[in-house]
Structure formats: C-alpha cells, structure tokens
C-alpha cells in the first residue's frame, strides 16, 4: 500500500473505511451483502492510492474513485433471477455472442447425410468465404456468431449459400 506524502497509514485506512461504509448500502445487490461491498470498496480504495494526486483532498478522490469503481463492479456482476424479462433476454443475447455459432443449418443444403468430415466442412466454409458477395458478409458473420438477425436477412444468406453450394456440386 502506497501511503501519500503528508499522511500516515491510520489516516488513509480510516478515510477509506469511512467512505466504504458510506457507499456500501447503495450498492448491495443479488448475493452481495453490505459487508461484502464494504470489503470490495476498501480493496478498491487501497488500489486507488496508486492513482492519487496529492494536490487533491484524499477524501474527495477516494469517494469519486470508489463510487465509480463500485458502479462498474455492480454492472459487471449483476444478474437477474427473474426469467422472461427484457433484461434477462439482453443478458442471454450477450451470453450467446460469446458462444460459437452453429452453422450446421448450411450443411443440409449440400448433402442429405449429416456425416461430413472436418475436411469437407472446412472446404465448404472456404468455398462460402470465397464466393459470398460482400453485401451479405456482415449478415453471414452475424449468423456465425449467433447474433440476432431478421428472418428475411437469414433467408437471403441461406439462399445465396445454397446457390454457391449447388453450383459447386454441378462442377463435379
């Protein structure tokens, strides 16, 4: 812990503790109780000493720093247990963005059997990347990342991919 010039350790700890106790009730949520938030605020305050400018009063700096970091902490760790709400749908959309998309819906277009090898899948994806018009690339990437996309756009991308794959089969 870096103690600012002109202050002693007791003063710094007392200032951070007072501010943590004052702010903690405001940020209690979900499974975090007041004591948990106080501890988190105290740790945030200790870490914030690295950024402290001695020309400002310590209490003012700590209040602003801890308050802002607790807002971020709550935003990053908050979740809702009430399924079906708009907020829950947004959380699920965020979670789906991190999951790889299932583009298996394209495979049935080219072959009726679903037993494609990894090499065949790679070749199909390379063919699609090569021949897909740039105007549809954004929607294609949205489908791959499982992002929301309208039914019309999804259908247009699938139709073009179907044509690409059918053309390729005609060449063989």
Say yes or no to pLDDT of 94 above 70. no
* pLDDT (average), residues 30-55: 90
Q: How confident is the model at residue 110 (pLDDT cuts 50, 70, 90)?
A: very low
pLDDT digits (tens, 9 = 90+) for 53-91: 888 899 999 999 999 999 998 888 776 555 556 666 776
Give 115-158 pLDDT, tens digit per residue. 556 777 788 888 888 888 989 988 888 888 778 888 898 899 98
Residue 42 reports pLDDT greater than 90: yes
Q: How confident is the model at residue 48 (pLDDT cuts 50, 70, 90)?
A: very high
Mean pLDDT calculated for residue range 161-171:
76
pLDDT of residue 148: 85
CA distance 145 to 103: 9
Q: What local confidence, expressed as pLDDT, does residue 83 receive?
A: 56
Mean pLDDT, residues 21-37: 89
In angstroms, the Cα distances linking 117 to 59, 111, 114, 120, 121 are 64, 12, 9, 5, 6
Looking at beta carbons, which pairs linking 104-113 to residues 24 or more positions away fall under 8 Å? Answer: 105/158, 106/158, 106/161, 106/165, 109/158, 109/161, 109/162, 109/165, 109/166, 110/165, 110/166, 110/168, 110/169
pLDDT value at residue 69: 94
Q: Taking the model in full, what pTM does it have?
A: 0.47
Among candidates 138, 148, 144, which has minimal Cα distance to 121? Answer: 144
Phi, psi of 57, deg, nearest 5? -65, 140
């Amino acid at each position: 812990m870096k103690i600012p010039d002109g202050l002693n350790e007791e003063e710094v700890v007392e200032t951070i503790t007072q501010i943590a106790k004052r702010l903690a009730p405001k940020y209690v949520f979900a499974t975090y109780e007041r004591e948990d938030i106080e501890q988190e605020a105290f740790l945030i305050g200790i870490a914030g000493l690295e950024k402290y400018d001695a020309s400002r009063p310590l209490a003012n700096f700590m209040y602003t720093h801890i308050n802002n970091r607790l807002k971020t902490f709550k935003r990053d760790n908050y979740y809702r247990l009430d399924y079906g709400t708009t907020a829950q749908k947004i959380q699920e959309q965020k979670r789906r963005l991190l999951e790889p998309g299932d583009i298996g819906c394209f495979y049935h277009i080219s072959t009726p059997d679903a037993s494609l090898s990894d090499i065949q899948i790679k070749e199909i994806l390379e063919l699609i990347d090569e021949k897909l018009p740039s105007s549809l690339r954004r929607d294609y990437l949205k489908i791959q990342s499982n992002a929301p996309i309208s039914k019309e756009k999804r259908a247009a991308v699938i139709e073009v991919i179907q044509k690409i794959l059918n053309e390729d089969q005609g060449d063989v």
